[in-house]
Structure 1
Amino acid sequence: MRKTFVLAILLLLSGCGHPTGVMTPVTLTATTPKTAQVDMLVATTRQPSGDPATLFNGERSPKPHLTDIAISIPPKRPAGTVQWPKKLPPNPATDFAVTHVKEIATVPEGRAWFHQHTEGGHAIVFIHGYNNTYEDSVFRFAQIVHDSDMHATPILFTWPSRARVTAYVYDKESTNYSRTALEQTLRVLAQDPEVKDITILAHSMGTWLAMESLRQMGIRDGHVDPKIHNVILASPDLDIEVFAKQFIEMGEPRPKFTLFVSQDDRALAASRFISGDVGRLGGINPTEEPYRSRLEKAGITAIDLTKVKTGDSSNHGKFAESPEIVQLIGQRIITGQPLTDSNVTVGEGVAAVVGGTARTVGTVAGTAVAAPLMITEQPSRPKERPSSRQTASDVDETLRSDPQSKPLTP
């Protein structure tokens, strides 16, 4: 009975079926309607499939690979959606379609690609979640880049996922397998003098990979590379207490952290069940204690998407499927603008919570809150923000030695 229930809730993580083998490039003709183009650099620890229609499978490669990929996006489509072809080859007038694929064999070639596609020196690295094929991650990231109108060079890091609902453990171990490769990818980017800043956008199980790589970098160097300005964790499938330790152990100074959370995320409910009823970071209510105080101490911005409605039945991909939220990522967070401007709307019904003080309808920061989480209009709280060293100590001390505090679970 328990196994049946686990399988049923895991099915919530699986998407609708679509044709496979969409990575073979198509040629745009003079009669093709004008389409948008997204060029991205794809780094992967997946094993090459030997088939140009798929490029890479879900098994693990002993070495990482780089590929230059361009995707055509049709002109008429609802924002937040990926238009998968109903048959092959795809029709660029109505479908997402790959138009260019080129293997990048060396680091200098990768740097040359970045210089040719630079967006003011800003780079964004996207790390997908559980149950994704190579093409799933490519098309989803292309949709995010296009719909967000971000001005950053897109780099996808895709790790070995077998893309089966029953392969949860394999996928989780694949993130561990890939953490050094992601760390090295971030290092190579940061070492390029033309790269001014890096934003990491990670989703679901990919947030574990992101946090482990940053923690690993922090342990090696004493801190995360200062060019990594922003870390956005969307629907983070992370044990809350483990996240707190990862956050501390990456050292100081840290990037700015933004969390997208939702209490109706069914996929995270499934993960919590599988994990022995241990709360997931992406399912917390940041207005409640102890989360509100601890997020504020740590300088972490939490945006609650519980009231956002999308077409995702599992409520696990709201950050990408809500046009307003994906635009928020591209136009404000990546550019370093604080979430304090009351005229920044993200759609009626959005509960955008920054330290638990924002209004629940229509604005990202309805009260005077300065990112990251420095509350300025509550006289009961100190006006000055603790230093980053004090913040880490406070979080660690709370976790380890405060017998009166609530357990860090939803």
Structure 2
Amino acid sequence: MKIAFFNTLEIYKNIFPIDDNNREINAYKLTNIIITGHNLYYPNVLLKTENNIVLPLLERTMSLKSSTIYEKENMNFNYCEKPIKTICDDPLFFFIYNTDNYFHFIYDSLPYLISYIQLKLEIPGLKLLMQYPNEQKKDMYPFVVEFLEILNITKTDIILLDECTQYKEIYISTSYTHDLDSNLPPRKEIYNFYQNIVKSINENYVIPTLNTPKKIYVSRRTWLHNDFSNIGTNYTTRRKLVNEDELVEKLKTQGYEEVFTERLTTIEKILYFSNATHVVGAIGGGISNVLFSPKTTKLEAIVSPTFLDVNTRFKYSLDCVDVYYNFNTEHFEKTEFKTYMRVKTKEGNIVGEIEKIYDNKLLVSYTDGSNTGWNAQNEYKQIELNMEDVEKLDNGLNSTWIYDI
């Protein structure tokens, strides 16, 4: 069957008019829906209605230079009918987006809830339709649950998808950061959204014993604690700053406190960054928490090699404060192929990440399905490939690197 993009359907409600970047936020309504797709996890979920199959998102994975698997397949899908066992009468807001990667969750996924909040004003019983972060994880990360709770969304407001259920109505929103062009600036509403979260926490939560440091170093030295339960997609052991120990010691003499954001609760994280005057850290999910900082916060973002060449859009999460981009970095490996570099076979049937390099061969981790990020806590298939049979997808985006201190 031919797949339709959700934004080609009739608009149910215009939430925000077109802005200076031609971004328009609309809501779309589907009825009598069955969930299907290559698998039932982001970004592969499809919505089957009585008349067509709908792709409910338009998002691009910058590091893979690709959009969804369906767009690669010319928007066709071989749908197989499955028995309907239950009917869900609750009105639902589609919220099966990236909840695996911390940066993508707070920058790309969380803003969809601006539309949810607007729709809920006229549809009081509206709940979220969600799914677990990936096929190998059977619960939500604490940071996902905690952000939802801050927005007064509890477990009773969430329904997990089921392929044998027919859903009476599902509402879909256009993206505040993707859709039209993922590299365009986001809707301005997202910045007010983050600051309203800060305001809500300051008004509703008091932690008397919490003394937040004014000068923060966002650490990537996760091997000091090995607690990955709340980090999401973990790149700290791959895109590793090899001389970070030396950097930490230098910053401590300047009054900085080393902070492991993955070990803070969401409320603690937001309070840390909203109270900080100075933040230093390697570019990545940890420093994107300056979205909750005031404009006057001074950020030094240490940019690992090629990061912004691939992820230019990441700057939109940092430019909201007084940021300085430090490019005094270089790769640790000087070879053409580097560990954790992403590659694909020239036939295009395997896309993966280099685990080991020896002689003229590469050991590559890969999956059979669409994969938006290599979560270090997941297990992957591996294959040995000849260097001459693969093409590089990046130039060492997630490879180890050195900072010129």
Tell me which protein shows more helix as a share of its residues.
1
TM-score scaled to structure 2, two decimals? 0.29
TM-score scaled to structure 1, two decimals? 0.29
Tell me which protein shows more strand as a share of its residues.
2
Structure with larger Rg: 2
